[in-house]
């Protein structure tokens, strides 16, 4: 019955988007292949097909999207790009600069994007003042996910500071559980690293380090402290961590093998897919030391210049559907994120999402809304790659020195820009 209701909602939603006379096909490159993510993509596919267009799925597994980008470059250079690809942040500007992207200004005007989406988001979607990409959602990256049963058995509360985290982790370890579920992949290492950095540096110095790429901040005493605390986190992950996918780490928290995970709110999609209820079966809390701060990751699709007129019509329908209110609701409920539109009815969203939306709006006013370095929002892919290398090498080397590593970080970033 639940599935029928969802399909009915999608049918009604699709009916609100004008049908286009010239049906075509969209090929969509994305890396949403885990449970909650796959459900989210299915909703978009269903709505597009309701309008008479066909969807060709081009999914490339890998949570951070590195594999997908490699495939995309090969396709684009050979003159055969997909209709749309999951690209975000500075990478949109790079693809725009190479002349691959098409304008969506007519769709944006018809859908009143400027009025309904915050400028901090729409600015990133434009190249030379024209829309070339569509935002799908807003993720908060600096979340801590916890299993309340495991915390209870270990006799600890949800940690609100890093010191509390380390103290709780010791007790959890002693109780026979894994304190922190983690996947040893560069983007996951960077996700934990930037959460520690946000706490230690504060929002202003975080921006100096990862947006401005300020050399003094990257190599300074506070960054040495970031690396020192980040190294300590490694004591609380298990030996099987290397190469583990993020959703497998989330399932360790769901199944009660591990107490906590530091991961963006796409993790909530996994809890939802497993039938878990926030506040009862799991806890969502700000990453230790980052209450009131919001590290944002905006998923988006960039749209490529294609020739077939029917496929161009399908492409425009896809762009319009992504920001349709019905899709925004269905998608974000599945994905764990919050809608990118500020005029949404949030009544169907859970407490984690409501907390996220409240912090998103408040942090935009206080200056505590910062772009995620780990997820490609704060800087170029070149600078991000340099940071990844230093962070991951440090995290996996028990003998690495925090002070030397901060110097290495500054040098690596300087070489990349």
Does pLDDT of 44 surpass 90? yes
Task: Read off φ and ψ for residue 97, nearest 5 degrees.
Answer: -65, -30
Predicted confidence at residue 342, as pLDDT, reads 85
Q: How far apart are CA 83 and CA 134, in angstroms?
A: 13
CA distance 208 to 216: 9
Structural contact between residues 409 and 219, judged by C-beta atoms closer than 8 angstroms: yes
Per-residue pLDDT at 85 exceeds 50: yes
**Residue 389 scores a pLDDT above 50:** yes
> What is 143-296+372-415's CATH topology?
D-Maltodextrin-Binding Protein; domain 2 (3.40.190)
**What pLDDT score was predicted for residue 21?**
52
Contact 81, 75 (CB under 8 A): yes
Q: Is the pLDDT of residue 6 over 60?
A: no
Per-residue b or e along 382-398, where b marks 16 or more CB atoms closer than 10 Å to that residue's CB: ebbebbbebbbebbeee
Q: In this structure, are strands 54-59 and 25-30 parallel, antiparallel, or unpaired?
A: parallel
Tell me the per-residue pLDDT of 233-250, one tens digit each, with 9 for 90 and over. 999 999 999 999 999 999
List, in order, residues 6 or more apart from 334 with CB less than 8 Å away. Answer: 36, 37, 39, 40, 43, 269, 272, 273
Q: In degrees rounded to 5, what are phi and psi of residue 222?
A: -65, -35
8 pLDDT higher than 50: no
Q: Indicate if the pLDDT at residue 65 is higher than 80.
A: no
What is the residue extent of each domain of the chain? 25-138+297-355, 143-296+372-415
Greater pLDDT, 88 or 262 = 262
Kindly provide the b/e burial profile for residues 223-259, where b requires at least 16 CB atoms within 10 angstroms of the residue's own CB: bbbbbbbbbebbebbbeebeebbbbebbbbbbeeebb
pLDDT at 274: 95
Confidence of residue 15 (pLDDT cuts 50, 70, 90): very low
pTM (predicted TM-score) = 0.84
- pLDDT for 5 beyond 70: no
More confident residue, 37 or 99: 99
Has residue 345 got a pLDDT over 80? yes
Q: How many CB atoms lie within 10 A of CB 102?
A: 18
User: How large a percentage of the chain has pLDDT more than 70?
Assistant: 94
Mean residue pLDDT of the chain comes to: 92
DSSP letter for each residue of 286-316? EPTT-TT-EEEE--EEEEB----HHHHHHHH
pLDDT exceeds 70 at position 16: no
What's the pLDDT score for residue 200?
98
pLDDT value for 13: 45
Half-sphere exposure of 158 (CA within 13 A, CB side): 20
Same fold, 25-138+297-355 and 143-296+372-415: yes
Domain at 25-138+297-355, CATH homologous superfamily = Periplasmic binding protein-like II (3.40.190.10)
């Amino acid at each position: 019955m639940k599935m029928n209701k969802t399909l009915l909602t999608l049918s009604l939603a699709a009916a609100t988007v004008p049908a286009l006379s010239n049906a075509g096909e969209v090929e969509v490159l994305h890396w949403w292949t885990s449970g909650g993510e796959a459900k989210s993509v299915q909703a978009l596919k269903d709505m597009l097909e309701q309008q008479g267009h066909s969807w060709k799925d081009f999914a490339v597994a890998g949570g951070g999207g590195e594999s997908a980008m490699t495939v995309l470059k090969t396709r684009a250079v050979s003159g055969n790009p997909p209709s749309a690809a999951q690209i975000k942040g500075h990478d949109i500007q790079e693809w725009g600069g190479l002349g691959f992207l098409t304008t969506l200004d007519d769709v944006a005007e018809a859908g009143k994007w400027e009025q309904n989406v915050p400028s901090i988001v729409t600015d990133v979607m434009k190249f030379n003042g024209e829309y070339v990409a569509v935002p799908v959602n807003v993720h908060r990256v600096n979340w801590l996910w916890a299993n309340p049963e495991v915390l209870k058995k270990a006799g600890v509360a949800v940690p609100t500071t890093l010191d509390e985290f380390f103290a709780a982790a010791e007790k959890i370890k002693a109780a026979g559980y894994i304190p922190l579920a983690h996947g040893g992949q560069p983007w996951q290492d960077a996700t934990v690293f930037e959460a520690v950095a946000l706490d230690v540096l504060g929002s202003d110095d975080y921006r100096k380090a990862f947006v401005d790429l300020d050399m003094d901040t990257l190599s300074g005493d506070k960054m040495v402290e970031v690396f020192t605390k980040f190294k300590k986190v490694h004591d609380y992950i298990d030996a099987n961590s290397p190469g583990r996918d993020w959703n497998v780490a989330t399932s360790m928290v769901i199944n009660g093998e591990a107490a906590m995970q530091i991961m963006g709110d796409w993790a909530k999609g996994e809890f939802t897919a497993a039938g878990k209820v926030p506040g009862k079966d799991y806890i969502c809390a700000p990453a230790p030391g980052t209450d009131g701060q919001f590290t944002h990751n905006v998923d988006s699709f960039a749209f490529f210049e294609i020739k077939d007129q029917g496929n161009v019509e399908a492409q425009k329908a896809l762009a319009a559907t992504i920001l349709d209110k019905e899709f925004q609701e269905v998608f974000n409920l599945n994905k764990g994120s919050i809608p990118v539109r500020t005029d949404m009815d949030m009544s169907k969203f859970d407490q984690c999402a409501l907390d996220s939306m409240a912090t998103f709006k408040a942090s935009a006013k206080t200056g505590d809304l910062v772009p995620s370095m780990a997820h490609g929002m704060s800087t170029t892919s070149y600078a991000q790659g340099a940071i990844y290398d230093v962070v991951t090498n440090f995290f996996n080397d028990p003998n690495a020195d925090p002070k030397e590593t901060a110097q290495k970080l500054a040098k690596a970033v300087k070489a990349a820009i």
